[in-house]
Amino acid sequence: MKSTLKLTLGLTSAMFASTAVSNVAHAEDLTLCWAAWDPANALVELSKDFTKETGIGMKFEFVPWTNYADRFLNELNSKGKLCDLIIGDSQWIGGSAENGHYVKLNDFFDAEKISMDDFVPATVVGYSQWPKNTPNYWALPAMGDVVGWTYRKDWFSKPELQKEFKEKYGWDLAAPTTFDQLKQIAEFFQKHEIDGKTVYGASIYTERGSEGITMGAMDVLYSFGFKYENPDKPYEMDGFVNSEKSVKGLEFYKALYDCCTPPGASNSYMGEGVDAFKSGQVAMHMNFAFTWPGLQKDENVGGDKIGYFANPKGPDGDQFAQLGGQGISVVSYSDKQEAALKYIKWFANKDVQAKWWSLGGYSCLNAVVNDPGFPASQPYAQTFLDSMAIVKDFWAEPSYAPLLQASQKRFHDYVVAGQGSAKDALDGLVKDWTEVFQDDGKM
């Protein structure tokens, strides 16, 4: 009996000790939170080098885009400790900085000699700074992204289609440089028979639930002259958001939706766009640049069959594109901030950034993107550079969520449901946004 008791005690102690040891071994494991998409897989691969170098294990919490904001903003708002590092959307920066979710990185950058001048300026403003254009940094630019276009180069180069197009529109069928050209091309391909299959003009963002239609419509509106506010008087929106040029831009987006999208594309965002392009349904496809590496590799539509172009110019020659992408931040509720900062330091390294690009991530480091070999490194590299040079972003205010909700509703009501006019939609948007800023005490 006594020996049995001893044996039991011994085994229990051994088990306890082994668990404790393993807990110690994993005590420094970091959890990184991000969206579930292709670049996240590349980051998992890349982070293996970090573990090899430092012995710090990496765990990942990836959530699909449709739930990404809900899930992680809930986590941050409840001061959760799930994420030590978070790659949060660019629009979260204001709220996360003001509500104390992110650790301010200025001192750390100074101590580690990480200079924001080494990163693409638009990404620093878009992903790191709050307030914008001030030297207050809350994230390291991690994943550059921007809305651009892919097109079926193989269809565009078919002689019979080129001939037919030239006869109809009087110019050579090629990647469009203006939105007018884009619409003509989309109209041309709409319900055209190619290789015995009916195809459609373009896939554009129309999603209602999260941010889809706002990203798509803004991508067009910027180049038509839309402005969020009076440049000289912050938060004065009347006459800027709903200017005549903005109205024309929104009318154009609706016309593009009505004339040239595939049937049933009333709730389409990144995934649906990729599906439409990959399945050979559309001639052109609006999407964030992160989708390009995957499309380039696709057997059916990739390789020589795919081409890329930056967002075209508007009627006055203005050319802008909607910024995507994110910065990586340290969560202020994490108990492992020191290890998390080590990760940021490692990630900022030039070699790591170069590998990040080669694995399918979009580096924001000047040394990588300004490398002479960069434009030729991938077929889409030049378009990415061109697009990143013309970016604009949605509000990054702490109240970005209700601001986004309002634009989602106004744009979808007009563009997809056909309710009211573009002017009504934009006037309504000014009213909604004014209400939000009044609630915030900013007006």
Binding site for other proteins (CB under 8 A): 69-70, 73-74, 77, 79, 95, 99-100, 207-209, 262-267, 281, 398, 401-402, 404-405, 409, 412-414, 416-419, 439
Q: What's the min distance (Å) between Cβ of 229 and other proteins?
A: 20
Among residues 240, 236, 158, 238, which one has the least CA distance to residue 199?
A: 158
- Judged by beta carbon, residue 120 or residue 436, the one nearer other proteins is 436
* Integer CA distances (angstroms), 318 to 13, 177, 185, 226, 285, in order: 72, 11, 20, 10, 21
Say how many residues make up the chain.
Answer: 443
Residue 390 CA to residue 379 CA, distance in Å, equals 19
Q: What's the min distance (Å) between Cβ of 184 and other proteins?
A: 22
Strand partners, 233: 230
For residue 178, give the 3-state DSSP assignment: strand
- Judged by beta carbon, residue 77 or residue 177, the one nearer other proteins is 77
Q: What's the min distance (Å) between Cβ of 407 and other proteins?
A: 12
Q: Are strands 391-392 and 58-63 parallel, antiparallel or unpaired?
A: unpaired
Q: Are strands 85-89 and 140-143 parallel, antiparallel or unpaired?
A: unpaired
Q: What's the min distance (Å) between Cβ of 264 and other proteins?
A: 4
Q: What's the min distance (Å) between Cβ of 166 and other proteins?
A: 28
Q: What's the min distance (Å) between Cβ of 259 and other proteins?
A: 15
Residue 320 CA to residue 244 CA, distance in Å, equals 18
198 residue type, one letter:
T
- Judged by beta carbon, residue 79 or residue 163, the one nearer other proteins is 79
- Judged by beta carbon, residue 325 or residue 398, the one nearer other proteins is 398
Q: What's the min distance (Å) between Cβ of 65 and other proteins?
A: 14
Q: What's the min distance (Å) between Cβ of 250 and other proteins?
A: 14
- Judged by beta carbon, residue 310 or residue 416, the one nearer other proteins is 416
- Judged by beta carbon, residue 181 or residue 434, the one nearer other proteins is 434
Strand partners, 284: 151, 202
The token pair that represents 405 in the structure block: 């909700």
Q: Which residues contact 156 (CB under 8 A, 6 or more apart)?
A: 162, 173, 174, 175, 283, 307
Residue 186 CA to residue 259 CA, distance in Å, equals 8
- Judged by beta carbon, residue 185 or residue 416, the one nearer other proteins is 416
- Judged by beta carbon, residue 382 or residue 405, the one nearer other proteins is 405
The DSSP code sequence of 71-128 is HHHHHHHTT-SS-SEEEEEGGGHHHHHHTT-B---HHHHHHHT--GGGB-HHHIIIII
Q: What's the min distance (Å) between Cβ of 1 and other proteins?
A: 23
The token pair that represents 342 in the structure block: 């080590």
Residues 409, 320, 243, 419: is their CA dihedral positive or negative?
A: negative
Q: Are 242 and 427 within 8 A, CB to CB?
A: yes
- Judged by beta carbon, residue 160 or residue 193, the one nearer other proteins is 193
Residue with tokens 């994420």: 83
